[in-house]
Amino acid sequence: MTCADAQAELTAFLDGELTGDAAAAVNQHLSACPACARTGDALAAVSHLADAWQVQGADIQSAVLTQIALEDMASEMARLRAEVETLRAEVAALRRPVSAPGLLFPYAPPISAPLHIV
Partner 1 sequence: MHEDDTLMQQAAAGEVRAFGRIVARHQIRLVRVAARLLSDPELAQDAAQEAFLRLWHMRHRYQPSGRLSALLLRITRNVCLDWAGRKETEEWTEEREAAQAHDDPAAQAEGGALADAVGRAVGSLPEPSRTVFILSHYEGQSYADIAAALDCPLGTVASRKRLAVEALRRKLAHWVEGENTK
Residue 104 touching partner 1 (CB under 8 A): no
Separation of alpha carbons 118 and 115, rounded Å: 9
Residue 78 touching partner 1 (CB under 8 A): no
| CB-count burial class (<10 Å; 0-12, 13-18, 19+) for 13 | buried
Binding residues for partner 1, total number by CB under 8 A: 31
Judged by CB under 8 A, which of 3, 8, 80, 82 binds partner 1? 8
Residue 99 touching partner 1 (CB under 8 A): no
Separation of alpha carbons 54 and 48, rounded Å: 12
- For the chain, the first-to-last Cα distance in angstroms comes to 125
Binding site for partner 1 (CB under 8 A): 8, 10-12, 15, 17, 42-43, 45-50, 52-61, 63-65, 67-69, 71
